[in-house]
């Protein structure tokens, strides 16, 4: 041990001792007002640490953590053993989630761009600037939100835009993330979100990963699955992927397919089920119908006969599927044999591979279709389960409905009854809600980046809890022109400087995670709640407060939309005695629990689609509950593990084993779709010979703004890279670690090559993670999207890889020849 290290250790030991001494003198956590965590809810340990529950801030898995706070700061994290999702286990991001609050460059004050520089201003000025921009032209104002919005945040924003401004230009980043999963569920079952849940991972005999790498992206779920092997259970894991990953290392079968050809694989399974007679006749006869696209291209398509369905699949023979996909015919037979065996329990998992796909709705519905055709549905372990990437993509975006065309609880703006119900619930005058859907994400940024005189009808976007500067595809098209246009204005509420705050005109510092009350909804229909546990830094404030403050400013200026039909403020809130609380004043915001008030107002919306939510206070006592949460005669609330199946779902009609009670055909049936394979819009060619796939890595969450500020995660994965096949590297003369240029028709980045690293793509493919804002790979990706979901395809486009010209050798003085 070197002297330096010993000295350091001694200093550390002394520091620890002083901390212990300080603790012994009785310093306690800063008190949080009554609407935040109450003292009796935290459990205190002898070391002066108060522990309380919260869902993890990061992905859609929805683990619960125990947050340890002392002296007003988070000091420790533990996995929550009472949480059914994670049973005490976390991943490396979750164990370090507390550190996400303490990067030293947290935003602490509102800032307005002035002469190119962001200059600190007061909150009053900032709220005034936003109100000015809205008054300029309320119809040209847009909000771009997030699957990281809490449920109350999403609900308040939706009400503000659609109920207050009669403006439907509100869309979330989840459009880039799981929109195709939504359209897949809607087209198949008539209602969104998975029927099964994570319990299926405990019961499945076979788990199929469709373009999915849960070992890195949903690590706790992956462990829940493979740790069964340590206990002597047998599971067959099949990885259908376009590159080898850490998940592949645990799989018995790896089926490597050519990008986009997953449609052919699914059709190949269905073909063999029919050919071999191993499809489930009874299940299909009772519960299913067949469907194909219609000429108008509507989401619900048109009915097709069973005979037509069989004929449509006729050409998807194993040999033909092998030709299209590159997966050997015997592996297609393997899949079909597994699906053809009803004694097995089969769970399918998928996430961005199937969703970020120009045929995303198609592949989503085909995966459901294979399960329905084979009858692998409706028993524990038999489930097609789509996973989400964000902690509340389901709870906020999909259930509250913060999309350009939706209203709360599965309603849509184009439906008269839905608008009418929503107006009544919000106590608005009839006709307040605009029946025309607003701009979806790509259209919103296109309209912002197009000059007003050319029809670019969005002048201002307020970005909340997301980072489009890094995550929008084809940024050169969707962002750069707007940044340069003086008529356009970008507002960004966030917690750290990001690629978006760097181009924003107004930057607002937000409270994050346990610095505020919150509610999330995870991938398995589980609604979760947490209390504020520490104060946000500087002048950072809750996102809901920011919105309500703007609404109140407009109200005070006389904006009619900010009043309900009785002239009350749109966000009227009262205390237990019925007295109005001015929550738009920050010092009064925590006089009541605003989250609770908003959630209780939202809750009745959940009944239409049988997604019943329990009262706020029930969630406060639970580690989340899976809807429908149905009140029992004894007053308790029962969650539902498997929808549409009589063994668990109380809404299935008596006498039926399975009932799809939101069927698009109103007959209790789900739709089995035929969707043909077709080539993707951009494929490698001689100029751009490689497929590019983008994605995530274990250590970093999405655009890395939080995780790149956590030392343990940053050191383990400090920068983006391009992963390529060793044969390609050898052919191009590229060394491991060499900096190369990854270039598409849209843009280019320079990143180092990592050979034989975390994963390995096949020859002709490369992979680049998107977490690193210094190498924004979304300059390169494609902005073309699925026709139904409007979700862009980040998983495939054509690129070329070029070596960089050697940097010029350092200048040296010419050596003087010595005389002979």
Partner 1 sequence: MHASHSNAHAAPLFLAVVVTLAIAGFLVGTGEPPSTGTPLVLAEHGGEETGSRPVPGYLSLRDTPRTGGAQLEADLLRLRGPGRLDPVDLSGSSKPLDLADRALNRAYAGAPPTIPHPIRQDSAAECMACHEEGLRLREAVAAPVPHEDFASCTQCHVVQEAPIPGALIGHGTGHNAFVGLESPVQGPRAWSIAPPVTPHPIFMREQCLSCHGPNGRDALRSTHPERESCTQCHAIQNELAQSPLQGRSAL
Three-class DSSP labels, 26-67:
CCCCCCCCCCCCCHHHCEECCCCCEEEEEECCCCCCCCEEEE
Q: For partner 1, which residue of 72, 75, 535, 586 counts as binding (CB under 8 A)? A: 75
**Ramachandran angles phi, psi of 210, nearest 5°:** -95, 95
Closest CA to 111 of 542, 493, 536: 493
- Judged by CB under 8 A, the chain residues 666 through 705 that form the site for partner 1 are 698-699
Closest CA to 326 of 243, 405, 394: 243
Clarify whether 800 is annotated catalytic. Answer: no
Q: Which is nearer to partner 1, 440 or 758 (CB)?
A: 758
Binding mask 202-231 for partner 1 (x = CB under 8 A): -------------x---xx-xx--xx-xxx
Q: Which is nearer to partner 1, 427 or 714 (CB)?
A: 714
Q: How far is the CB of 101 from partner 1 (least distance, A)?
A: 7
Tell me the C-alpha distance between 561 and 379, whole Å.
49
Q: Which is nearer to partner 1, 99 or 412 (CB)?
A: 99
Q: Which is nearer to partner 1, 90 or 263 (CB)?
A: 90
Tell me the C-alpha distance between 515 and 534, whole Å.
5
Q: Which stretch binds partner 1 (CB under 8 A): 9-17, 384-392, 415-423, 570-578?
A: 9-17
Q: How far is the CB of 466 from partner 1 (least distance, A)?
A: 19
Clarify whether 351 is annotated catalytic. Answer: no
Answer for the pair 506, 130: CB distance below 8 angstroms, yes or no: yes
User: How many Å is the Cα radius of gyration of the chain?
Assistant: 27
> Which residues partner with 141 through β-bridges?
460
34 touches partner 1 (CB under 8 A): no
Binding mask 233-262 for partner 1 (x = CB under 8 A): -----------xxx--xx------------
Closest CA to 423 of 411, 440, 438: 411
Q: How far is the CB of 70 from partner 1 (least distance, A)?
A: 7
Give the HSE-up count for residue 760: Cα atoms under 13 Å, Cβ half-sphere.
Answer: 13
Q: How far is the CB of 709 from partner 1 (least distance, A)?
A: 5
Answer for the pair 364, 184: CB distance below 8 angstroms, yes or no: yes
Q: Which is nearer to partner 1, 431 or 711 (CB)?
A: 711
469 touches partner 1 (CB under 8 A): no
Q: Which is nearer to partner 1, 235 or 645 (CB)?
A: 235
DSSP 104-168: TT---S-EEEETTEEEE--HHHHHHHHHHHHHH-GGGEEEEE-TTS-HHHHHHHHIIIIIIS---
Question: What are 21's two structure tokens?
Answer: 């001494």
Tell me the C-alpha distance between 251 and 304, whole Å.
37
Q: For partner 1, which residue of 54, 59, 70, 490 counts as binding (CB under 8 A)? A: 70
Q: For partner 1, which residue of 24, 28, 34, 88 counts as binding (CB under 8 A)? A: 88
Q: How far is the CB of 295 from partner 1 (least distance, A)?
A: 47
Around Cβ 61, how many Cβ atoms within 10 Å?
Answer: 29
Question: What are 585's two structure tokens?
Answer: 């004043």
715 touches partner 1 (CB under 8 A): yes
Q: Which is nearer to partner 1, 286 or 803 (CB)?
A: 803
49 touches partner 1 (CB under 8 A): yes
Q: Which is nearer to partner 1, 451 or 737 (CB)?
A: 737
- List the alpha helices (DSSP H) in 603-663: 616-620
- Chain-centroid distance, C-alpha 530: 19
Clarify whether 177 is annotated catalytic. Answer: yes
Q: Which stretch binds partner 1 (CB under 8 A): 63-71, 132-140, 391-399, 664-672?
A: 63-71
Q: For partner 1, which residue of 20, 24, 311, 574 counts as binding (CB under 8 A)? A: 20
Around Cβ 160, how many Cβ atoms within 10 Å?
Answer: 23
Catalytic residue among 352, 394, 562, 706: 352
Answer for the pair 142, 461: CB distance below 8 angstroms, yes or no: yes
Answer for the pair 743, 435: CB distance below 8 angstroms, yes or no: no
DSSP 674-729: P------S----SSS-EEEEEE-BTTB-TT-TTGGGSHHHHHHS-S--EEE-HHHH
Q: How far is the CB of 45 from partner 1 (least distance, A)?
A: 4
Q: For partner 1, which residue of 27, 28, 45, 122 counts as binding (CB under 8 A)? A: 45
Q: Which is nearer to partner 1, 70 or 696 (CB)?
A: 70
Q: Which is nearer to partner 1, 606 or 707 (CB)?
A: 707
Closest CA to 507 of 546, 456, 553: 546
Size of the site for partner 1 (CB under 8 A): 95
372 touches partner 1 (CB under 8 A): no
Closest CA to 164 of 716, 563, 527, 743: 563
Tell me the C-alpha distance between 145 and 60, whole Å.
16
Tell me the C-alpha distance between 546 and 465, whole Å.
12
Clarify whether 464 is annotated catalytic. Answer: no
Answer for the pair 170, 145: CB distance below 8 angstroms, yes or no: yes
- Judged by CB under 8 A, the chain residues 560 through 589 that form the site for partner 1 are none
Tell me the C-alpha distance between 68 and 814, whole Å.
65
Tell me the C-alpha distance between 588 and 398, whole Å.
31
Q: For partner 1, which residue of 29, 35, 36, 52 counts as binding (CB under 8 A)? A: 52
777 touches partner 1 (CB under 8 A): no
793 touches partner 1 (CB under 8 A): no
Binding mask 592-631 for partner 1 (x = CB under 8 A): ----------------------------xxxx--------
Q: How far is the CB of 121 from partner 1 (least distance, A)?
A: 24
Q: Which is nearer to partner 1, 805 or 813 (CB)?
A: 805
Q: Which is nearer to partner 1, 47 or 294 (CB)?
A: 47
Q: How far is the CB of 539 from partner 1 (least distance, A)?
A: 17
Q: How far is the CB of 398 from partner 1 (least distance, A)?
A: 27
Query: Can you tell me whether residue 753 is helix, strand or coil?
Result: strand
403 touches partner 1 (CB under 8 A): no
Closest CA to 695 of 225, 185, 218, 55: 218
- Judged by CB under 8 A, the chain residues 92 through 151 that form the site for partner 1 are 92, 95-96, 98-99, 101-105
Residue in the structure block whose two tokens are 């966000």:
571
- Judged by CB under 8 A, the chain residues 301 through 340 that form the site for partner 1 are none
714 touches partner 1 (CB under 8 A): yes
Q: For partner 1, which residue of 475, 610, 662, 709 counts as binding (CB under 8 A)? A: 709
Tell me the C-alpha distance between 351 and 209, whole Å.
9
Q: At what angle do helices 543-556 and 151-158 cross, to 10 degrees?
A: 20
Catalytic residue among 161, 178, 197, 797: 178
538 touches partner 1 (CB under 8 A): no
Q: Which stretch binds partner 1 (CB under 8 A): 89-97, 118-126, 362-370, 555-563?
A: 89-97
Around Cβ 269, how many Cβ atoms within 10 Å?
Answer: 29
Catalytic residue among 163, 389, 456, 704: 389
Instruction: Give whole-number Cα distances, 645 to 380, 527, 615, 660, in Å.
Output: 10, 21, 25, 9
Q: Which is nearer to partner 1, 81 or 298 (CB)?
A: 81
Tell me the C-alpha distance between 136 and 460, whole Å.
10
Clarify whether 352 is annotated catalytic. Answer: yes
31 touches partner 1 (CB under 8 A): no
- Judged by CB under 8 A, the chain residues 721 through 750 that form the site for partner 1 are 721, 736-739
802 touches partner 1 (CB under 8 A): no
428 touches partner 1 (CB under 8 A): no
Three-point CA angle 540, 541, 544, nearest 5° = 150
Clarify whether 73 is annotated catalytic. Answer: no
- Which positions are annotated as active-site residues? 93, 177-178, 352, 389-390
């Amino acid at each position: 041990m070197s002297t330096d290290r010993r000295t350091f250790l001694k200093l550390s030991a002394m520091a620890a001792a002083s901390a212990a001494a300080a603790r012994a003198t009785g310093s306690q956590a800063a008190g949080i007002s009554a609407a935040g965590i109450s003292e009796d809810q935290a459990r205190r340990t002898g070391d002066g640490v108060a522990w309380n529950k919260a869902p993890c801030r990061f992905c859609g898995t929805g683990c619960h953590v125990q947050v340890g706070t002392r002296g007003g700061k988070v000091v420790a994290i533990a996995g929550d053993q009472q949480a059914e999702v994670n049973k005490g286990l976390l991943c490396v991001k979750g164990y370090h989630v507390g550190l996400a609050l303490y990067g030293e460059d947290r935003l602490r004050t509102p800032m307005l761009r002035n002469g190119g520089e962001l200059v600190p201003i007061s909150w009053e000025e900032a709220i005034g600037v936003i109100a000015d921009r809205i008054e300029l032209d309320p119809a040209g104002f847009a909000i771009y939100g997030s699957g990281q919005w809490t449920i109350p945040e999403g609900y308040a924003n939706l009400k503000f835009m659609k109920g207050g401004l009669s403006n439907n230009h509100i869309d979330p980043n989840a459009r880039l993330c799981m929109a195709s999963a939504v359209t897949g569920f809607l087209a198949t079952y008539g209602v969104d979100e998975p029927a099964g849940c994570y319990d299926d991972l405990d019961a499945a005999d076979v788990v199929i990963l469709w373009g999915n790498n849960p070992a890195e992206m949903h690590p706790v779920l992956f462990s829940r699955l493979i740790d069964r092997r340590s206990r002597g259970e047998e599971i067959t894991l099949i990885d259908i992927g376009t590159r080898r990953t850490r998940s592949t290392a645990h799989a018995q079968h790896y089926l490597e397919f050519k990008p986009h050809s997953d449609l052919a694989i699914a059709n190949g399974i269905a073909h063999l089920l029919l050919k071999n007679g191993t499809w489930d006749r009874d299940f299909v006869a009772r519960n299913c119908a067949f469907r194909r696209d219609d000429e108008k291209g509507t989401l619900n398509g048109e009915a097709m006969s069973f005979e037509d369905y069989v004929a449509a699949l006729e050409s998807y023979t194993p040999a033909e599927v092998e030709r299209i996909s590159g997966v050997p015919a015997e592996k297609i037979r393997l899949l079909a044999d597994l699906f053809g065996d009803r004694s097995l329990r089969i769970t399918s998992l998928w996430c961005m591979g199937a969703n970020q796909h120009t045929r995303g709705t198609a592949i989503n519905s085909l995966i459901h279709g294979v399960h329905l055709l084979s009858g692998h549905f409706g028993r524990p372990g038999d489930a097609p389960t789509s996973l989400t990437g964000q902690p509340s993509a389901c709870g906020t975006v999909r259930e509250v409905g913060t999309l350009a065309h939706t209203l709360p609880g599965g309603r849509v703006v184009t439906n008269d009854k839905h608008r009418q119900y929503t107006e009544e619930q919000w106590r608005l005058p009839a006709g307040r809600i605009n029946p025309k859907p607003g701009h979806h994400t790509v259209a919103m940024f296109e309209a912002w980046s197009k000059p007003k005189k050319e029809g670019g009808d969005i002048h201002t976007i307020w970005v909340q809890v997301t980072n489009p500067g890094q995550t929008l595809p084809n940024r050169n098209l969707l962002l750069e022109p707007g940044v340069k246009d003086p008529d356009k204005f970008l507002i960004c509420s966030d917690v750290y400087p990001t690629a978006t705050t760097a181009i924003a005109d107004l930057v607002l510092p937000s409270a994050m995670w346990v610095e505020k009350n919150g509610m999330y909804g995870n991938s398995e229909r589980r609604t979760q709640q947490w209390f504020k546990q520490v104060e946000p830094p500087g002048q950072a404030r809750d996102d809901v407060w920011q919105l309500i403050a703007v609404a109140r400013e407009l109200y005070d200026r006389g904006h009619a939309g900010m009043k309900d039909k009785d002239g009350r403020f749109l966000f009227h809130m009262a205390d237990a005695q019925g007295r109005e609380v001015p929550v738009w004043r920050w010092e009064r915001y925590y006089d009541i629990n605003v989250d609770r008030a908003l959630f209780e107002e939202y809750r009745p919306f959940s009944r239409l689609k049988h997604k019943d939510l329990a009262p706020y206070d029930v969630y406060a006592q639970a580690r989340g509950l899976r809807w429908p949460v149905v009140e029992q005669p004894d007053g308790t609330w029962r969650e539902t593990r498997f929808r549409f199946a009589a063994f668990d779902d109380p809404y299935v009609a008596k006498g039926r084993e399975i009932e799809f009670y939101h069927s698009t055909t109103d007959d209790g049936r789900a739709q089995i779709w035929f969707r043909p394979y077709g080539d993707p819009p951009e494929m490698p060619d001689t100029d751009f010979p490689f497929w590019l796939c983008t994605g995530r890595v274990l250590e970093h969450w999405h655009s890395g703004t939080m995780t790149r500020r956590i030392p343990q995660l940053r050191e383990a994965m400090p920068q983006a890279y391009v992963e390529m096949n060793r044969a390609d590297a050898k052919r191009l003369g590229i060394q491991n670690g060499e900096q190369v240029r990854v270039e598409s028709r849209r843009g280019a980045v320079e990143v180092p090559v990592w050979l034989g690293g975390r994963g390995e793509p096949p020859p002709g493919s490369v992979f680049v993670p998107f977490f690193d804002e210094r190498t924004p790979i979304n300059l390169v990706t494609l902005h073309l999207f699925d026709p139904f979901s409007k979700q862009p395809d980040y998983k495939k486009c054509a690129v070329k890889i070029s070596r960089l010209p050697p940097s010029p050798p350092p200048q040296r003085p010419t050596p003087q020849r010595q005389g002979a």
